Amino acid sequence: MTSGVDIQTEVEIAVNEIRKQWQPTPTVAVILGTGLGAFVDGLNIDLVIPYSNLPGFCASTAIGHAGELVCGRVGETPILVLCGRTHSYEGVPLERMTFPVKVLKQLGVSTLLVSCAAGGLSPSFQAGEFMVIDDHIDFLLQLKSPLTSYSRSFTSTPYDEELNELICNIGREQNIPLNSGTYVSVTGPNYETRAEMRFYRRMADAIGMSTVPEVTLARQLGMRVCGLATITNLCNPDALAIADGEDVAKVASQTEPNFRRLVLELIRRISNVGQAPACLP
């Protein structure tokens, strides 16, 4: 972290640092959730920069989050992959948690794919399946908004309908079952009690401890956003199972081959989809 400079200056310092080492202009970026780190093995990797070498980036203390920026290509398309994110339960301020999104924007990224591990609230979900996030509920109640200006906030859902449709089509073509639904973000790091499971089941299909801050800021910055949750455990109040971070990371890593197939194909097709819907003035 660079002390004594404002956040915009810090963003510029990080952007210059990345540009010094890697010159392509990436239009697509991926944020990898818990246990999905092997995704980068499917890329042509040009460069790996540890977050510790990037001013303003925070390394995560959470299981399954490497803390590296991977610069590479899918075919000819340059992409950036954030391997690891921080969470509110790590005590990281919101502005720091969402800092990498500002850097991505400044580097030219216009489409962001955000992934996460999540508990399945919907009774029809199975562990190991995916859920395309079609909307979210922000229950990170103790946090202030990552938006610094309310005059340009989006309305409706922040998730891009065309990208969601595209990924659902890819899932069908590749025989990878995809659910769609609402994601609720909570602070954690504790998993839910039985009563909380009952409560959250009334409002959402999957629950996790991330995603919403980055998505909110990315939309504010005018990016198109697609969110994919890996259902790593089931939150069934009538058949309680103890969730634990190691198991969550293990199940997520087992889904990674299918995650990779979906996301690489999405990136290949992305150039055929139009521009991001503009933020409201």
Whole-number Cα distances in Å, 179 to 125, 126, 132, 165, 182:
8, 10, 6, 12, 10
> Per rule CB under 6 A, is residue 255 in the interface with ligand HPA?
no
The pattern of x and - marking residues 86 through 115 that bind ligand HPA according to CB under 6 A reads ------------------------------
Single out the residue of 129, 160, 192, 265 in contact with ligand HPA (rule: CB under 6 A). 192
Touching ligand HPA, residues 145-184 (CB under 6 A): none
Token pair belonging to 258:
């299918």
Whole-number Cα distances in Å, 16 to 23, 24, 107, 160, 262:
10, 13, 9, 30, 32
Single out the residue of 208, 212, 221, 264 in contact with ligand HPA (rule: CB under 6 A). 208
Single out the residue of 58, 94, 113, 118 in contact with ligand HPA (rule: CB under 6 A). 118
Site size toward ligand HPA, by CB under 6 A? 15
Element (H, E) at 14: helix 7-21
- Choose between 4 and 91: whose C-beta lies nearer to ligand HPA: 91
Alpha-carbon span 192 to 171, nearest angstrom: 30
Can you spell out the DSSP letters for 218-259? HHHTT-EEEEEEEEEEE--TTS-----HHHHHHHHHHHHHHH
Q: Smallest distance from the beta carbon of 210 to ligand HPA, in angstroms?
A: 8
Q: Which stretch binds ligand HPA (CB under 6 A): 45-53, 56-64, 227-235, 262-270?
A: 227-235
What's the one-letter identity of residue 85?
Answer: R
Single out the residue of 223, 248, 249, 267 in contact with ligand HPA (rule: CB under 6 A). 248
Q: Tell me which residue of 144, 67, 118, 115 sits closest to 215, measured CA to CA.
A: 115
- Which residues contact ligand HPA (rule: CB under 6 A)? 117-119, 186, 188, 191-192, 207-209, 232-233, 235, 243, 248
